[in-house]
Chain A
Amino acid sequence: MGGLFSAYAWSKVWDFRMGFLTGLGNTLLTALLGIVLAMALGLIFGLMETGRIKALVAVARVYIEFIQNTPILLQMCFIYYALAFSGNSIGIVPTGIIALGIYHGAYMAEVFHAGIGSIPKGQFEAAQSQGFTYMESMRFIILPQTIKIILPPMVNQIVNLFKNTSCLYIVGGMDLISVTYSFVTGEKTGGAYSPAYLLCGILFFLMCYPLSKMATSWEMRLKRKEMAAVRAAGRR
């Protein structure tokens, strides 16, 4: 079983604990900064897509369609090699942050777009009639109302982003997956497959599961509230 029950294999993992921690740190750093970038891009392109300026809508659509319909691994490799072969290499972690940010930004844009689209038109009109500019009505009236709706799909995207940090492996990253793999195949450390993969899996599960659980329960609560509102409206 690859040493699942062997104390020796587990001791190897323990000796390598700093390596795993470094990998975990890199994964967390890449993911967190990737999330920030994805949110920013998502908000910008989501607003562009909901706006009335046709050229900006087109730009947002092209970005979203192109990114969503090609693999993250290909995008990551493309950015990495394009920078490397033009002599502008910026390192693996920054490349990963940019690639993950751009990839998940396209999904976040759709999330923002759907969220803003779900707000009744009257809200925009009311805000405008009160003298709010477009940006002000977005900032103070519309976006705060969308948060409840966009939170669940947004958190799901964050979970996917965490999992996609594994795309760093192909260019020789030092993220959790890559560190685990180099540990189990390393000349001095190799062999302890089961404990290492189990540890890596548990760490990813601990990062992702609470988030996905939260997203699901928010979604359920939202649905129940909607149903209750529909029932209440029916009684009236």
Chain B
Amino acid sequence: MSGSLSHASSAEPNLTPILDMVFQLITFFMLVINFKAASMDLDLKLPVVGSARPVDSEGKDDLLVLNINSEGKLKVYGQLIANVDGYIRQEAGASLLVARGKNPSAKADDLPSIVVIRADKSTPFKMLNQIITTCQTHGFRNFALKAMNKEA
């Protein structure tokens, strides 16, 4: 009986290699996780334009990502924004604070932040223009219009 017990305890699997492998997988997924994807509405169908270049924010990390669906509704981090003017005004205020932190002479009518427009390819210009004009009214001047450079 004593011999049988001893035999059972020695048959325990060695879990160390599997643990090593799992930790390596976790490390991989932690490294490739993309938090920026959360700000993108992946349901939108972007237009395809040949000369659209991959993202290059010229070292400026202060981006305001605006998702505009085919009905012209603004979506940010998955939430529909009802008060577009209020939201953009608030973002402009925050952007100005950041800009003045770096450069005290930053102007409120020429904010350094880049407004990233991700609009559905069937969005009518009228809807798009309302949002762009609101951004311009609140001091944003730099825009990045998103497109795919090949069919997904």
User: Do A and B come together as binding partners?
Assistant: no
**Residues of A near any B CB (own CB < 8 A):** none
B residues adjacent to A (C-beta < 8 A): none
